[in-house]
A and B are shown apart, each in its own frame.
Chain A
């Protein structure tokens, strides 16, 4: 199974960190063009909502897409906020495709109607749609009594449009019991992937869902159910569980950027040295995942383009970043945990180790 930082679709492809299988590893640029959203979900890591106006302009996005392609990134994942509310989304996706990037979109699935999906369909390789559980659970998490019905309509639209889609389920302390329901729903609806992502305490979740973060044994239970579901539905869809086995990390430290320097220096491109970049809606570019400490930021698009910021970051900050990763690796190595939510851990430590 695989892992991912934020609950982002990686275009129905393995995650750069967790996947230890064969085949090329996608190098991902994740962009958050807007924090505007039609919902105000309890677990939203970016505190998005209808009243939030933070938005990036399309020229900044064109620039960062061009630069990321030049640095070796091959996939762009668009999130938010609700990306379907970003007016220039078709232009961004079209431009990304013109650069040869694979494109994915993470959405709450409620705004595909009125030709919105049709306008981006031809530039889209995959969709990730959030599903929190049975209708009552989903509506409660989404703070909307109509969210599930609108989700159903959205899924039908995506299916009719022929866009491959995945479901993303945010795992909470209580939701692991709903995983069989979510898997059955995924099979019925024709999803190609079920991604299970443990709740992270960022954004709105940090204040309202502190007790809902899955405990270590709950994550273990969820992993076991996920493995059973993976075997059961192998002919219908894949299952991605966003945690790493400690054993795999110890066997291959570079999974978490913690290999000795000589191995790391063999990377040929920027994207090989840092598998995922995240552009937040205020223009800040951070490594790995949304919410990473800004003391490790690569730059801000309002100040300089990515291509201008990268060389200095690689020279001055990449060693510091890898030092952070080695510290986290040591912490993981000495623990008795079987499963590690590395993204959650590295983000937490990034905020503690600010120099």
Chain B
């Protein structure tokens, strides 16, 4: 079961990953806080990470925090948000690219 985190540990452990990326991810997950249901991180860049992509699933109540984060952060270069649930989504998944 712990194998499901191998990719995340590998991504976070890459030597080229800058501390700013770590900090930015801390901002993402800490601001979503209690609303986070799932969180994973993947490196971006083919020959060495020049960024990181965060995948997260969060409750509707986390939307406000996410929007505040998007307006405050200067390192976010892509955002995709997917509502989950028909008619009235209560859960959202998001992919956030950090450069």
Binding site for B on A (CB under 8 A): 176-177, 179-181, 183-184, 187, 216-217, 220-221, 223-225, 227-229, 231-232, 234, 245, 247, 336, 338-339
Cβ of A234: which chain B residues have Cβ within 8 Å of it?
37
What is the distance, in angstroms, from B72's C-beta to the closest C-beta of chain A? Answer: 11
Cβ of B87: which chain A residues have Cβ within 8 Å of it?
none
**Is B5 a contact partner of A225 (Cβ separation < 8 A)?**
yes
Interface size class of B (residues with CB under 8 A): 20 to 34
**Is B25 a contact partner of A224 (Cβ separation < 8 A)?**
yes
Binds A, one of B6-14, B78-86, B89-97: B6-14
Cβ of A184: which chain B residues have Cβ within 8 Å of it?
1-2
Q: Is B29's beta carbon under 8 Å from chain A? A: yes
**Is B12 a contact partner of A338 (Cβ separation < 8 A)?**
no
**Is A338 a contact partner of B23 (Cβ separation < 8 A)?**
yes
**Is A223 a contact partner of B9 (Cβ separation < 8 A)?**
no
Q: Which of B1-43 contact A (CB under 8 A)?
A: 1-6, 8-9, 12-13, 19, 22-23, 25-27, 29-30, 36-41
Which residue from chain B places its CB closest to the CB of A223 in the assembled complex? B26
Q: Say whether chain A's binding surface is mostly helix, strand, loop, or mixed.
A: helix
Binding site for A on B (CB under 8 A): 1-6, 8-9, 12-13, 19, 22-23, 25-27, 29-30, 36-41, 57
**Is A220 a contact partner of B37 (Cβ separation < 8 A)?**
no
**Is B22 a contact partner of A220 (Cβ separation < 8 A)?**
yes
Cβ of A216: which chain B residues have Cβ within 8 Å of it?
19
Cβ of B9: which chain A residues have Cβ within 8 Å of it?
176-177, 179-180, 225
Which residue from chain A places its CB closest to the CB of B27 in the assembled complex? A338
Cβ of B27: which chain A residues have Cβ within 8 Å of it?
338
**Is A232 a contact partner of B30 (Cβ separation < 8 A)?**
no
What is the distance, in angstroms, from B94's C-beta to the closest C-beta of chain A? Answer: 14
Cβ of A224: which chain B residues have Cβ within 8 Å of it?
8, 12, 22, 25-26, 29, 39, 41
What is the distance, in angstroms, from A330's C-beta to the closest C-beta of chain B? Answer: 21
Q: How far is B27's CA from A184's CA once the two chains are assembled, in angstroms? A: 26
Which listed residue, A220, A225, A245, A247, touches B8 by the CB 8 Å rule? A225
Which listed residue, B3, B23, B39, touches A228 by the CB 8 Å rule? B39
What is the distance, in angstroms, from B13's C-beta to the closest C-beta of chain A? Answer: 7
Cβ of A180: which chain B residues have Cβ within 8 Å of it?
2-6, 9
Q: How far is B29's CA from A339's CA once the two chains are assembled, in angstroms? A: 13
**Is B26 a contact partner of A228 (Cβ separation < 8 A)?**
no
Contact A181-B2, Cβ < 8 Å, known A227-B36, A228-B38, A231-B38 = yes
